[in-house]
Amino acid sequence: QVQLVESGGGLVQAGNSLRLSCAASGRTFSSFAMGWFRQAPGKGREFVATISRSGRNTDYTDSVKGRFTISRDNAKNTVYLQMNSLKPEDTAVYYCACARYYSLSYYSNDYTDWGQGTQVTVSP
Q: Give the per-residue pLDDT at 29.
A: 83
What does pLDDT average to over the chain?
Answer: 96
pLDDT tens per residue, range 20-63: 999 999 868 889 999 999 999 999 999 999 999 999 999 999 99
Task: Tell me how crowded residue 116 is: count the other CB atoms within 10 A of its CB.
Answer: 11
Determine contact, residues 14/36, Cβ cutoff 8 Å: no
> Which run of H or E residues covers position 50?
strand 45-51
pLDDT band per the 50, 70, 90 thresholds, residue 65: very high
Q: What is the pLDDT of residue 106?
A: 95
pLDDT value at residue 26: 80
